[in-house]
A = this chain, B = another copy of it.
């Protein structure tokens, strides 16, 4: 099924040259992220009744206090429609409140209500514990490498996407 000519190997990046899905990094990353999200969603959803976008909004406001929807989106890397819907849902549930900005009436300043703050205070330790249990299987060296690797890959991928845009 696969070509076995020696001069092909040089041009292929995987160790043995053929495309194996389970060794293909984009696939591996996707499977891992999905798996981790599913596990974590059990805490988000079943224990606190919120979605992942809502969780990101809560985590961002919990960390920074008062922000606009745009700032939340930038900080948590979410599309503005995702932020808009998560904010609307949290507000409907009384976990977040908007305050008009008199200096610029296009935007609204958002912050957690007392109820939203309670959720954040309860959820944050659980989330940190989950992350801790996740990384506890890694060696000290691997654990330190991981943060660096993730940042490098994300930046590289962004650059590649730009390159593909220009040529495609």
Contact = CB atoms under 8 A, between A and B. Distances in A.
Interface of A: 1, 9, 11-14, 16-40, 42-43, 46-47, 52, 56, 59-60, 62-63, 65, 75-77, 121, 124-125, 127-138, 141-142, 145-150, 152-158, 160-161, 164-165, 168
A137 B158 CA distance: 13
A116 to B, nearest CB: 13
Contacts of A25: 36, 131, 134-135, 146
Q: Top 9 closest A-B pairs, CB basis? A: A13-B132, A33-B33, A39-B161, A19-B124, A42-B164, A29-B33, A137-B156, A35-B157, A26-B36
Given A1-B62, A33-B29, A63-B19, A142 B149 contact: yes
Contact of A157 (B24, B39, B60, B129): B39
> How many copies of the polypeptide does the oligomer hold?
2
A69 to B, nearest CB: 16
